[in-house]
């Protein structure tokens, strides 16, 4: 988790799950830290010396011991979009691995902090295994040094970042096997528990954004499909230049065409695909934008006062509404209006 709001979701789902929670993020507030301590989470991933002092103060105030790991920056480059690369010294995350031993020594001096592990996360949507293994080799070297320094190292949080293939090709089972090897090989014989956060690779393929074609349009030779979904519903193509597969919901034979799939928001960045070869679809027909489960609804907004979409859970032949479609009234409910 990376916020107090995410902790609240965990607690509402199952309060017992708090003991499995790891709290990451560079900007934890004192209020969030105290809530996490009261909930009894597993581990705080510390990201600065100042944060360590705040966690220690919160733990002292509540007279509870906080189990901590330092998130170290291994300075390992990852072949991914620069906005979701997190493992270099120029990024805001973690502490330089060269400074880690000193920071662990400082944390161990506090009676309210229990040093328990090392954390690392080099980025998201990574599809090559070499960066994961390189990072874990550096972490393994650090763990050995910390053990020699007398620290009891119980956990290595390897973070997440395992990518998915948005083109739909490849064998994900083989990818998982390779990923597991890259993470665990450097940690052999260290007797630590490995913590993982493989969220995107699990929930990404589980989500589909269904949208209706409003208009077919041509500007000269340029073709557009204007749909009723927009960048407020799925911002990944605009923000990360992500290329999600798009398929007609009705599987019928149709001539292919090269077109842009765009939304109704008033900026040119509102698109789902550019120069994409798709079967010809007509106005009123539905398109499925695949692999929208990761950061689809989580990044959705009310930009242009657009209502967020409904969510439907499909489990075999069972279909259940799990989030109703927003209304304008929902969006305006928290606003304070003043009339003259």
* Domain boundary assignment for the chain: 4-202, 207-332
165 confidence band (pLDDT: 50, 70, 90): confident
128 confidence band (pLDDT: 50, 70, 90): confident
Reported CATH class of domain 207-332: mainly beta
92 confidence band (pLDDT: 50, 70, 90): confident
Q: Could you confirm whether 58 is annotated as catalytic?
A: no
For residue 150, pLDDT beyond 50:
yes
For residue 84, pLDDT beyond 60:
no
Q: Are 246 and 289 in contact (CB under 8 A)?
A: yes
Q: Are 316 and 304 in contact (CB under 8 A)?
A: no
Q: What is the pTM assigned to this prediction?
A: 0.89
For residue 80, pLDDT beyond 60:
no
From the list 226, 205, 175, 217, the residue with the least C-alpha distance to 289 is 205
C-alpha neighbours within 13 Å on the C-beta side of residue 149:
18
4-202 and 207-332 share one CATH topology?
Answer: no
From the list 49, 157, 156, 154, the residue with the least C-alpha distance to 110 is 49
- Using only C-alpha atoms, the chain has a radius of gyration, in whole angstroms, of 23
CA dist 83 and 77 (Å) reads: 13
90 confidence band (pLDDT: 50, 70, 90): low
Specify the pLDDT at position 200. Answer: 84
From 266, 319, 336, 337, the catalytic residue? 266
Condensed to tens digits (0 to 9), the pLDDT of residues 176-214 reads: 999 999 999 999 989 999 999 888 888 999 999 999 999
Note the helical H segments in 290-332.
Answer: 328-332
CATH 3.40.50.1100 for domain 4-202, yes or no, is: no
Specify the pLDDT at position 79. Answer: 56
């Amino acid at each position: 988790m990376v916020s107090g709001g995410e902790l609240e979701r965990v607690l509402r789902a199952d309060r017992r799950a708090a003991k499995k929670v790891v709290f990451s993020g560079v900007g934890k507030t004192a209020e969030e830290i105290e809530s996490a301590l009261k909930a009894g989470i597993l581990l705080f991933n510390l990201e600065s010396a100042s944060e360590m002092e705040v966690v220690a103060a919160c733990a002292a105030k509540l007279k509870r011991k906080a189990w901590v790991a330092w998130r170290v920056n291994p300075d390992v480059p990852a072949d991914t979009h620069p906005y979701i690369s997190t493992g270099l010294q120029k990024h805001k995350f973690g502490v330089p691995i060269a400074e880690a031993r000193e920071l662990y020594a400082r944390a161990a001096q506090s009676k309210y902090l229990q040093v328990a592990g090392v954390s690392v996360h080099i980025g998201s949507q990574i599809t090559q295994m070499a960066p994961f293994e390189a990072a874990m080799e550096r972490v393994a070297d650090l763990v050995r040094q910390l053990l020699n320094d007398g620290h009891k190292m119980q956990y290595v949080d390897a973070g997440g970042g395992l990518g998915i293939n948005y083109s739909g090709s490849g064998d994900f089972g083989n990818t998982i096997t390779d990923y597991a090897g890259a993470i665990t090989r450097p940690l052999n014989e260290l007797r630590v528990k490995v913590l993982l956060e493989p969220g995107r690779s699990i929930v990404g393929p589980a989500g589909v954004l269904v949208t209706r074609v409003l208009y077919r349009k041509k500007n000269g030779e340029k073709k557009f499909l204007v749909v009723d979904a927009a960048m407020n519903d799925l911002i990944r193509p605009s923000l990360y230049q992500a290329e999600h597969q798009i398929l007609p919901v009705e599987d019928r034979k149709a001539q292919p065409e090269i077109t842009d799939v765009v939304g109704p928001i008033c900026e040119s960045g509102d698109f789902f695909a550019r120069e994409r070869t798709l079967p010809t679809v007509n106005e009123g027909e539905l398109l499925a934008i695949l692999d929208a489960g990761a950061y689809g609804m989580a990044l959705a907004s009310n930009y242009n006062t657009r209502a967020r979409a409904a969510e439907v859970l499909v489990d075999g032949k069972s279909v259940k509404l799990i989030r109703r479609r927003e209304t304008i009234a929902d969006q305006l409910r928290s606003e304070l209006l003043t009339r003259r």
